[in-house]
Copies of this chain bind each other. A is one copy, B any other.
Amino acid sequence: MNNLLKGKKGIIFGALNDKSIAWQVALKCHEQGAEFVLTNAPIAMRMGEINKLAADCNNAKIIPCDVTKNEDMENLIKQSMEILGGKIDFILHSVGMSMNIRKGKPYGDLDYKWHHETLDISSVSFHRLLQTCFKMDAINDWGSVLALTYIASQRIFPDYSEMGDAKSLLESYARGFGYHYGKRNKVRINTISQSPTPTTAGSGVKGFGDFFDYASALSPLGNASAEACADYCVLMFSDLSRMVTMQNLYHDGGFSFTGFSYDVFKLMENKK
């Protein structure tokens, strides 16, 4: 390995099981010499297999955190610094949940209470994380913070529904805090816009399989895997990407800049 993160301390949100991007990020960060704390929502921890991941990562500590609660976030940051013995160098935010999708409410019939919950969990949580760190001065100068997003923030994919809006808001927070935290502490903040990925959450979206194949046919390099995304996160956490901030970085095999490919037509014929 390349020791790209040797001596660095981090926090990784959202590792549910080995299909999770966050799970792969944890494994790669471990390989590259980082120490980190794992966190997830209390309920996700019960469902998932995060203990197994922790064991594979030099017995990383696990701290439950409800990202919609200020006090949980404060506790997470405080404990993380105690456990890791100092300020944080990198954070991965991989958190999202759409109440309306889960409840079967379409885009033209959203329940707004649920919609605010979706925004709170999926987007405001990122601001809350950064604001908590900002107030506690918890991130080292030149630290790197990433959130995972999807191109539905910029173009419409109908089934992605309100999550597209949540991702737009998430990307906006990355720019906003990228400015303010950059000015004060040179902390850099970016989002990674990843190919559709067959995680537990992703696979649950209606028609995911067909859409996954469509995206792959349109992307010159095919869809990016969770492992490849984890590699890219490692790069963006490393000291070799210090001047990249406030960006939405497409990690998608070229999907975002491809308008058309005959492979889409071929795909359809093969499905017959």
Contacts and interface: CB of A to CB of B under 8 A. Distances in A.
A19 interface: no
Nearest to A168: B172
A260 B147 CA distance: 23
A261 B157 CA distance: 7
A253 interface: yes
A137 B111 CA distance: 18
B242 A228 contact: yes
Contact of A224 (B178, B214, B243): B243
Contacts of A165: 127, 169, 172-173, 176
The DSSP consensus for interface residues of chain A is helix
Q: How large is the interface on A (under 10, 10 to 19, 20 to 34, 35 or more residues)?
A: 35 or more
A261 B164 CA distance: 15
Contacts of A3: 2
Interface in A244-272: 244-247, 249-254, 256-262, 264-265, 268-269, 272
B262 A178 contact: no
Interface stretch (A49-57, A91-99, A229-237): A229-237
B107 A116 contact: no
A254 B179 contact: yes
A151 B156 CA distance: 17
A250 B244 contact: yes
B179 A156 contact: yes
Interface string A136-168: 000000000000000111111110011011001
A86 to B, nearest CB: 21
Contact of A253 (B112, B151, B243, B258): B243
Nearest to A134: B108
B220 A157 contact: no
A52 B178 CA distance: 39
Contacts of A103: none
B238 A244 contact: no
A8 interface: no
A231 B220 contact: no
Contact of A235 (B151, B171, B195, B240): B240
22 contacts: A2-B4, A112-B127, A116-B116, A116-B120, A119-B169, A151-B259, A155-B175, A155-B257, A158-B260, A178-B257, A188-B221, A214-B264, A220-B245, A221-B245, A232-B240, A232-B241, A235-B238, A243-B253, A245-B254, A246-B256, A247-B256, A247-B257
Given A169-B172, A186-B221, A247-B249, 8 more contacts: A116-B124, A155-B256, A158-B262, A179-B220, A179-B257, A232-B244, A246-B257, A247-B256
